[in-house]
Amino acid sequence: MTLLYTCKHCGTEIGKLRPQMLDLEKIGWNVLSTEEKNKLMNYQQNQTVTLQSICEDCQHLLDQNPQYHELDYFIQ
Ligand SMILES: [Zn+2]
């Protein structure tokens, strides 16, 4: 399987993981949403599972502009 991390704000591909074994701590299992956990639990062999995260650019932007966090919630 391939884990594909994309930024939920700008859609940038952050990184790919092809774990031989699924290390739940390494992929950030604790911070995944229930929906993402379900996707992982139901993955097929050779399937790409997309996980949403935040890229460095957006993280930096949010750090500089804390009010964007509120905007993000508003959009969702
Ligand atoms: Zn981003």
Cβ–Cβ under 8 Å, residues 53 and 6 = yes
Global confidence as pTM: 0.65
Neighbours of ion ligand 1 (CB under 5 A): 7, 9-10, 12, 55, 58
From the CA of 8, how far away is ligand 1's center (Å)? 7
Domain ranges of the chain: 2-68
How open is the CA angle 21-31-18, to the nearest 5 degrees? 25
10-residue block means of pLDDT along the chain (76 residues)? 91 89 77 86 81 92 77 51
Measured in Å, residue 60 CA sits from the centre of ligand 1 at 9
At 43 the pLDDT is 75
